[in-house]
Amino acid sequence: MVFRGGRAFIAVEGEPPPPPGDISSNMAVDRTAGPGYFRALGVPLVRGRDFEDRDANAGVPVALVNRTFAERRWPRQDPIGRRIKFGPANAPGVWMTVIGVVGDIREMALEARAEPEMYLPSNQGQGVPPFLWPQYLVVRTAGDPLAVASAVRGAVWSVDRDQAVSNIRTMDDVFDLELQNRNTQLTLVGAFSLLAFVMAGIGLYGVLAYTVAQRFPEIGIRLALGAARSRVVAETLRGAMGLAGIGIAVGLGTAFGVSRGLQRWLFEVSPLDASTFAATAFLLAVMAVLASAVPAARGASVDPCRVLRSE
């Protein structure tokens, strides 16, 4: 693979040209790859065959397409043997025969949907523009990737001593760089969420403490008449859980509606993750119990004589 962006106008043999002004329907992402590239990245071969060394000297230019390309251009048909080319069908250029279909790769961005893509063999001279010549070498290892860096350099220099080898990175580093801005945003969102959670707990505690203080005369009379202190605690907790339950219900409903709008920023994560919703609701319920424990204990410890004397 050489770079992230790059789309070209593609003609498909046997298909009519697009209507005037409609270019996007025949656009496809174009890449080059060598034999073993998809296997090294773990991209499945859906149909046909992968690139091979013999493609370098083959008389017929070949290409691979991804699953999205095949499903859009030849739905319910066999794409193997079909021919495509750069530019309009009647323009100069070579026709390339499709020899295989590979799985979709998120080339542009992790959250972006797969686009139609075509791959040309890096060792095939015909039909490969200079700007698509390969610049990166992908190596798959069983152990520490950086441990084989020197061996990789030696292998490259054994072929071309003047070839520059730099910017060696693991796939974890590549993903970390891709997610750097997003991680910063999520850290800020998490910090504000934690702050909101703490403020909600403080607010609930304040409301319950004020409510219990206002009920001191009532609680004192009930205790003087023989009410159990455990009942006072239970009623205070019940009131707190009622307020928390209303807040949790409203919050879950709002989150359910808002989360659908977050789909475009998510990668392999469902916006309606039931376990996350349940864990959040449970955490809020626990916070409500802890916030109401002190007011409940304070109400149960009221001295009826002192309260009635103050009244």
- What is the model's pLDDT at position 151? 87
Note whether residue 167 is domain-resident. Answer: no
Q: What is the pLDDT of residues 75-86, one digit of tens each?
A: 889 999 999 988
Residue 1 has pLDDT above 60, yes or no: no
Contact of 148 with 139, CB cutoff 8 Å: yes
Q: What is the pLDDT of residues 237-267, one digit of tens each?
A: 887 788 788 888 888 888 887 777 666 666 6
Report the Cα 270 to chain-centroid distance in Å. 9
Dihedral of CA atoms 79, 134, 146, 106 in degrees, nearest 10, equals -40
Last residue of one domain, picked from the residues 138, 165, 194 = 138
Residues 206 and 266 in one domain: yes
Q: Is 224 helix (H, G, I), strand (E, B) or coil?
A: helix
The residue among 214, 279, 201 whose CA lies nearest residue 240 is 201
List beta partners, residue 125. none
pLDDT mean over 15-43: 82
Note whether residue 210 is domain-resident. Answer: yes
Report the Cα 109 to chain-centroid distance in Å. 10
- What is the model's pLDDT at position 6? 74
Q: 0.75 exceeded by the pTM?
A: no
Residue 235 domain boundaries: 179-310
Residue 227 has pLDDT above 80, yes or no: no
Residues 24 and 132 in one domain: yes
Residues 227 and 108 in one domain: no
The overall average pLDDT reported for the chain is: 80
- What is the model's pLDDT at position 308? 59
Residue 118 has pLDDT above 60, yes or no: yes
Residues 128 and 20 in one domain: yes
Where are the extended beta strands (E) located within the chain? 7-12, 27-33, 45-48, 62-66, 83-86, 96-102, 117-121
pLDDT mean over 70-96: 88
Number of domains in the chain: 2
